[in-house]
Chain A
């Protein structure tokens, strides 16, 4: 993806030795089965799409990542972590590592999405949608409701009902025009920091772990990551830096207000923990459903969500003191 294959020379293979860890395509057992049996991913993808989506595109992302890591390690001595999340966190603020960051997070997002899925046991025939399908109202009858009571009640408390959650989730995915994913995330309390500092509430010995009390839906585009507390405030910081420089020049350095300082740290411990991802990019449905098939694809994805996986990813729920009444 990063080079025009025919016109430009490939990178010399000697560079491989300079970095002793390199990535390989992770194993997703359901997809391995699809590949070895040459059968469809039941209810969602043809075996050809699975091959293209994961075994070819996934491999391409892995190669791109390895290549950019080699290039970077040739010029600097970054820590050689082999954990994708570490790599993303280390490179997200560094424009010079845009390639590593992008390949890393694209791979992470793709894997996260595909691992959220299971085959649909019901008989579903994949077919190309037609122009008239654009005029259809979405299907309001659906199955695959989460069985886990904890997850279900948390979803209902956060979104009102499973129907409303499903509508919001699928419509958010449908609204993505380019590349992107919709995520279900557990959201930590915004004002943790401030609460912690207030003496009446701080309990000695409490951990710094974020407290999750709400589920929310977030879209990311291209190589975006959910937890952007990692990166947030970059533009703002550049602006402040610039202003500070200007003020120094005219020798009138002033301190900010307490509110400004508070606002700047407000998002520092705001955490979004992803528990479910759905890829809304065109490539996922073009081959099996055609240009008009996004709605059908998304409805089929819903039926294939593996709620067991989602439950396992879920953090401990902390109910707010003041709940619904």
Chain B
């Protein structure tokens, strides 16, 4: 009995002491993208900056910052949830949240000709209709206008709330849709209006009562400079966004929606 216990401990120890590093996840058709870029969106060098280099930068930093800590074996998604509330771990949160968001957004892209064969599902459009978004064109305009009119870096998400309704959410910088206190939807530079003030207060109240957040992202638009600077220049955001929309693989997006 003593022996079995000790063997068990030994095994557990062996498992725990295994070192692992965060690596760039493999995309579908990745070789093709590396060679040809994403048709209608990225040249090979644009794809390399937006994905291969940037994702490597994020995961490498994640490894460096989590090595030998409890977060070492966790996925970026788990790490971002674990670190979201820790004020001294916000640099780790940054790399985890960015790595997750960037992967999430890149997964939904495909060549333009492939993308044009896919459509948003009927379930998705019906849910959007409840948010006063009657058709795909309106949806596109809402998402892209919000993405284009925001200053600085960030993300625009379509998210599904716990009641299964949909919302469009803007996350500044490395904000995440998974936890309300780290959505980072407000920019408090400049004047603060009463709406923002109320929103801030409500965040405080919700955070204090340890409210859980079950929001899930359905679609992400990457507004970071790194995702378009190489192919579109520093002022090319609008063109990039229009192309980004044309390369969305709706089959991937449809599957993310809650299925009955």
Contact = CB atoms under 8 A, between A and B. Distances in A.
B108 to A, nearest CB: 20
A178 B172 contact: yes
Given A131-B57, A177-B94, A238-B197, A224 B234 contact: no
Interface centre among A175, A286, A287 (most CB of B within 10 A): A286
Contacts of A178: 152-154, 172-174
A179 B242 contact: no
Given A101-B190, A234-B191, A283-B225, A4 B53 contact: no
Interface stretch (A89-97, A201-209, A269-277, A300-308): A89-97
Interface centre among A52, A175, A178, A287 (most CB of B within 10 A): A178
Contacts of B151: 1, 102, 106, 179, 222-223
B237 A1 contact: yes
A118 to B, nearest CB: 22
Contacts of A92: 190-191
Contacts of A223: 151-152, 187, 189-190
A97 B172 CA distance: 20
Interface residues of A, number: 51
A308 to B, nearest CB: 29
Contacts of A5: 238-239, 242
Interface in A267-296: 281-283, 286-287, 290-292
A4 B225 contact: no
Interface centre among B56, B144, B230, B238 (most CB of A within 10 A): B238
Interface in B54-93: 54, 56-57, 60-61, 64, 91
Interface string B152-169: 111000000000000000
A2 B148 contact: yes
Given A222-B152, A286-B225, A8 B235 contact: no
B192 interface: yes
Contacts, number: 141
Contacts of B173: 177-178
Contacts of A222: 151-152, 172, 187, 189
B237 to A, nearest CB: 7
B234 A52 contact: yes
Given A101-B190, A286-B226, A1 B149 contact: yes
B132 interface: no
B205 interface: no
Given A95-B192, A98-B191, A178-B174, A4 B152 contact: no
A166 interface: no
A60 interface: yes
Contacts of A106: 151
Contact of A95 (B144, B145, B193): B193
Classify chain B's interface size: 35 or more
A8 B188 CA distance: 27
A135 B61 CA distance: 10
Contact of B190 (A59, A98, A239): A98
A290 B234 contact: no
Nearest to A7: B141
Contacts of A101: 189-191
B196 interface: yes
Interface string B236-256: 011101100000000000000
A319 interface: no
B229 interface: yes
Given A52-B235, A179-B152, A292-B57, 16 more contacts: A1-B238, A5-B238, A5-B242, A6-B242, A7-B144, A57-B234, A60-B235, A95-B193, A177-B173, A178-B153, A221-B189, A222-B172, A223-B189, A231-B191, A281-B225, A290-B49
16 contacts: A3-B149, A4-B148, A60-B235, A96-B191, A101-B190, A102-B189, A131-B60, A134-B61, A177-B174, A221-B189, A225-B189, A231-B190, A235-B200, A238-B197, A282-B229, A291-B53
Interface of A: 1-8, 52-53, 56-57, 59-60, 91-98, 101-102, 105-106, 131, 134-135, 175, 177-179, 221-225, 231, 234-235, 238-239, 281-283, 286-287, 290-292
Report the 6 A-B pairs with minimum CB-CB distance, sorted nearest first: A95-B193, A95-B191, A178-B173, A222-B152, A5-B238, A178-B153
